[in-house]
């Protein structure tokens, strides 16, 4: 029980502080947006900060988080929340991490603008600008204005004369007409960075008579870094800073690696801050199921000088003051690190639950529980195969980000399958070829498993799919469901320690009867085919390829109730787990 002891030891100080963490507001823990939250872009309007992060093919996509204190971030909307905003794009996307790449959020003339680009469609990259005057409301996000681009990571910058500019990977600059999406031609190369691969993720800031161009370089893995250049004219020539990079953790032993791709903004008191992405992997970079997460760092930016960014670590201190702690933020989504306590007795699907691609219409509904119409393709499906089995028509999967190193997640499943192959369960899901599942499945009866049903045997099945991961995939384990178990069945995923998941099942009415069906390393959902994404935990229903078209055979509907996710600990350094990230 070494882990438990460690947690309690470290946690006691933090829990004590959490109850009253505004006392000293100079210390906080990273990540401030834990879980899969890459490429953060942020801005402030009055007393509220807004950030958006990348979501690739997940839907709804482009979550907008709001905060008044930079550490409590509430999910207030998704800019891409309706299939009709981009008809057919999701269905036409075959790969696991195409879709919505890095966005930029800015506020101009009373309107929030969120610029992004969608990859993976037959017609190439689709540039998109969503607009809203009320970012607390999904419906207020417009259908996007589209623009044609060959490059990722668009920035949006207005000059004092009102002209709007888009800088993209490269780094290329174009003027944009935000009514039509027309771009000035040809794109102008304004900087190639300092020599690192992939100069990308640009943001332009105008300050003290200079255009500052801050970018990411080195690729989004261990060599990631932030560099900067400036010019008196927007099209350059740009002069690089002699002390680049201004932020990186490359070639260090820090627990937070891949630090890069950031954005800068000021609080109301005029202090500068930045958010960027980082991976909690340590330098060995093997186990990081949450992928790239968003971290906060203070900055100093004196008049006429270059910005100085504070090194990213788990525990940040030394800054005079964060804005006062506040959870008084509008909107109906949860704060990012809040537990899920969902009984699905009514109301809409909670905002933090997302899908892999746009789901089939009507596949998820809340009646007396969360009813899920199974998809023919299971969580793996046949990628790149027939569109009906590839997953492109949406997986019958709904999940939330793993936001904690240590957590427990469970749901109660009511399921009475009628034909062999019908299955419903829970999963730690990174991509269609990297997931760890525990399902209730109707199997063909055979001599080794005693038949309880006329048509087949109801069993618990632990099954792992993991491609491009350098460790063995655990064997499938099948356990017949004890005949005395009463419905619903509680399926649970919990962390045994910072690197291992346990998957177990029990009758909801009798936790003491729990059976551990499988154990799996978090490395199975780290990197693999999902180096840009991060793990989700959630529930699914499938008939494993039976049926026709998009329809499974009758009788395999799954009803989920009592959905619980409780965060228990955050690893913030090698050997250090705190009870919950926050301020001390």
Ligand X SMILES: *[C@@H]1O[C@H](CO)[C@@H](O)[C@H](O)[C@H]1NC(C)=O
Q: In angstroms, what is the minimal distance from the CB of 202 to ligand X? A: 12
Residues 493-522 that bind ligand X (CB under 6 A): 497-499
Phi, psi of 578 (to 5 degrees): -105, 160
DSSP-assigned letter for residue 534: -
- Is 253 a residue that touches ligand X (CB under 6 A)? no
- Is 8 a residue that touches ligand X (CB under 6 A)? no
Q: In angstroms, what is the minimal distance from the CB of 511 to ligand X? A: 26
Distance separating alpha carbons of residues 386 and 388, to the nearest angstrom: 5
Q: In angstroms, what is the minimal distance from the CB of 259 to ligand X? A: 20
448 vs 483 by CB, closer to ligand X: 448
> H or E element: which one contains 48?
strand 48-52
352 vs 390 by CB, closer to ligand X: 390
Q: In angstroms, what is the minimal distance from the CB of 275 to ligand X? A: 20
Distance separating alpha carbons of residues 233 and 238, to the nearest angstrom: 8
- Is 124 a residue that touches ligand X (CB under 6 A)? no
133 vs 468 by CB, closer to ligand X: 468
- Is 54 a residue that touches ligand X (CB under 6 A)? no
Around Cβ 442, how many Cβ atoms within 10 Å?
24
The stretch near ligand X (CB under 6 A) out of 58-66, 139-147, 310-318, 569-577 is 569-577
- Is 25 a residue that touches ligand X (CB under 6 A)? yes
- Is 448 a residue that touches ligand X (CB under 6 A)? yes
Around Cβ 561, how many Cβ atoms within 10 Å?
18
249 vs 377 by CB, closer to ligand X: 377
3-state secondary structure 261-283: EEEEEECCCCCEEEEEEEEECCC
Distance separating alpha carbons of residues 368 and 345, to the nearest angstrom: 5
Distance separating alpha carbons of residues 414 and 517, to the nearest angstrom: 19
Q: Which of 12, 133, 180, 189 binds ligand X (CB under 6 A)?
A: 189
- Is 556 a residue that touches ligand X (CB under 6 A)? no
Q: Which of 4, 20, 180, 509 binds ligand X (CB under 6 A)?
A: 20
- Catalytic position from the list 138, 153, 155, 200: 200
Q: In angstroms, what is the minimal distance from the CB of 366 to ligand X? A: 27
- Is 270 a residue that touches ligand X (CB under 6 A)? no
Distance separating alpha carbons of residues 200 and 255, to the nearest angstrom: 24
- Is 190 a residue that touches ligand X (CB under 6 A)? yes
3-state helix, strand, coil in the chain (%, to 5): 5, 45, 50
Distance separating alpha carbons of residues 476 and 88, to the nearest angstrom: 36
- Is 83 a residue that touches ligand X (CB under 6 A)? no
The stretch near ligand X (CB under 6 A) out of 46-54, 188-196, 394-402, 486-494 is 188-196
Q: In angstroms, what is the minimal distance from the CB of 299 to ligand X? A: 17
Q: In angstroms, what is the minimal distance from the CB of 568 to ligand X? A: 12
Q: Which of 14, 89, 176, 559 binds ligand X (CB under 6 A)?
A: 89
User: Strand, helix or coil at 522?
Assistant: helix
User: Strand, helix or coil at 308?
Assistant: strand
> H or E element: which one contains 3?
helix 2-18
- Is 22 a residue that touches ligand X (CB under 6 A)? yes
508 vs 536 by CB, closer to ligand X: 536
- Is 571 a residue that touches ligand X (CB under 6 A)? yes
508 vs 543 by CB, closer to ligand X: 543
273 vs 342 by CB, closer to ligand X: 273
Distance separating alpha carbons of residues 352 and 370, to the nearest angstrom: 15
Q: In angstroms, what is the minimal distance from the CB of 381 to ligand X? A: 6
Residue 364: closest CA among 558, 538, 84: 558
Instruction: Judge whether 481 and 458 are in contact, CB under 8 Å.
Output: yes
Residues 306-345 that bind ligand X (CB under 6 A): 320-321, 324-325
| Residue nearest ligand X (C-beta atom) | 545
The stretch near ligand X (CB under 6 A) out of 27-35, 115-123, 239-247, 336-344 is 115-123
- Is 577 a residue that touches ligand X (CB under 6 A)? yes
Distance separating alpha carbons of residues 76 and 33, to the nearest angstrom: 14
Residues 360-419 that bind ligand X (CB under 6 A): 377-378, 380-383, 389
Residue 496: burial class (beta carbons within 10 Å; 0-12, 13-18, 19+)? middle
Around Cβ 548, how many Cβ atoms within 10 Å?
9
Distance separating alpha carbons of residues 280 and 254, to the nearest angstrom: 9
39 in catalytic set:
yes
- Catalytic position from the list 39, 138, 437, 502: 39
Distance separating alpha carbons of residues 531 and 36, to the nearest angstrom: 11
Residue 395: closest CA among 76, 156, 108, 57: 57
DSSP-assigned letter for residue 177: -
Distance separating alpha carbons of residues 498 and 405, to the nearest angstrom: 6
Catalytic site positions: 39, 200
Contacts with ligand X by CB under 6 A lie at 3, 6, 19-20, 22-23, 25, 87-89, 92, 95-96, 121-123, 189-192, 320-321, 324-325, 377-378, 380-383, 389, 432-433, 443, 446-449, 463, 467-468, 478, 497-499, 529, 544-545, 571, 575-577
């Amino acid at each position: 029980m070494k882990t438990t002891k460690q947690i309690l030891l470290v946690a006691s100080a933090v829990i004590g502080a959490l109850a009253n963490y505004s006392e000293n507001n100079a210390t906080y823990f990273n990540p401030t947006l834990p879980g899969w939250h890459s490429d953060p872009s942020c801005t402030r309007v009055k007393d509220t900060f807004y950030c958006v992060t990348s979501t690739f093919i997940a839907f709804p996509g482009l979550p907008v988080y709001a905060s008044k204190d930079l550490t409590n971030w509430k999910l207030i909307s998704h800019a891409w929340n309706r299939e009709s905003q981009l008809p057919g794009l999701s269905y036409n996307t075959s790969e696991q991490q195409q879709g919505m790449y890095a966005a930029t959020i800015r506020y101009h003339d009373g309107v929030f603008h969120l610029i992004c680009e969608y990859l993976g469609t037959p017609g190439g990259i689709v540039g998109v600008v969503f607009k809203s005057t009320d970012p607390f409301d999904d419906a207020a996000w417009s259908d996007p204005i589209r623009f044609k681009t060959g490059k990722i990571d668009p920035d949006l910058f207005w000059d004092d004369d009102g002209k709007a500019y888009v800088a993209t990977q490269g780094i290329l600059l174009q003027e944009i007409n935000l009514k039509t999406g027309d771009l000035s031609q040809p794109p102008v190369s304004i900087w190639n960075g300092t020599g690192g691969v992939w100069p990308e993720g640009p943001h332009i800031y105008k300050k003290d008579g200079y255009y500052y161009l801050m970018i990411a370089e080195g690729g989004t893995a261990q060599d990631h870094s932030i560099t900067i250049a400036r010019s008196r004219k927007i099209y350059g020539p740009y002069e690089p800073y002699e002390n680049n990079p201004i932020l990186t953790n490359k070639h260090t032993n820090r627990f937070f690696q891949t630090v890069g791709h950031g954005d800068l903004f000021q609080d109301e008191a005029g202090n500068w801050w930045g958010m960027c992405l980082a991976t909690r992997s340590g330098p060995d970079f093997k186990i990081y199921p949450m992928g790239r997460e968003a971290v906060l760092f203070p900055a100093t930016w004196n008049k006429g000088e270059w910005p100085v960014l504070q090194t990213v670590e788990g525990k940040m201190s030394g800054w005079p003051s964060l804005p006062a702690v506040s959870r008084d933020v509008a909107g109906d989504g949860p704060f990012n690190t809040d537990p899920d306590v969902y009984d699905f007795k009514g109301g809409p699907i909670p905002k933090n639950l997302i899908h892999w691609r746009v789901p089939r219409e009507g596949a998820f509904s809340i009646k007396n529980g969360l009813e899920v119409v199974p998809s023919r393709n299971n969580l793996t499906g046949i990628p790149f195969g027939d569109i009906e089995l590839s997953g492109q028509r949406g997986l019958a999967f709904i999940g939330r980000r793993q936001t904690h190193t240590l957590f427990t997640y469970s749901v109660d499943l009511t399921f009475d399958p009628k034909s062999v192959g019908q299955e419903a369960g829970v999963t730690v899901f990174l991509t269609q070829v990297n997931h760890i599942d525990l399902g209730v499945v109707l199997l063909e009866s055979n001599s080794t498993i005693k038949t309880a049903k006329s048509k087949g045997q109801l069993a618990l099945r632990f099954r792992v799919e993991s491609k491009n991961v350098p460790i063995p995939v655990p064997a499938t384990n099948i356990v017949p469901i004890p005949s005395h178990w009463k419905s619903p069945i509680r399926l649970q995923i919990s962390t045994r320690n910072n690197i291992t998941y346990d998957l177990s099942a029990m009758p909801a009415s009798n936790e003491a009867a729990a059976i551990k069906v499988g154990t799996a390393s978090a490395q199975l959902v780290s990197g693999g085919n999902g180096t840009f994404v991060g793990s989700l935990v959630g529930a699914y229903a499938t008939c494993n390829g039976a049926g026709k078209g998009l329809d499974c055979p009758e009788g395999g509907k799954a009803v989920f109730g009592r959905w619980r996710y409780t965060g228990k600990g955050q690893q913030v350094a090698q050997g250090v787990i705190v009870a919950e990230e926050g301020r001390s």
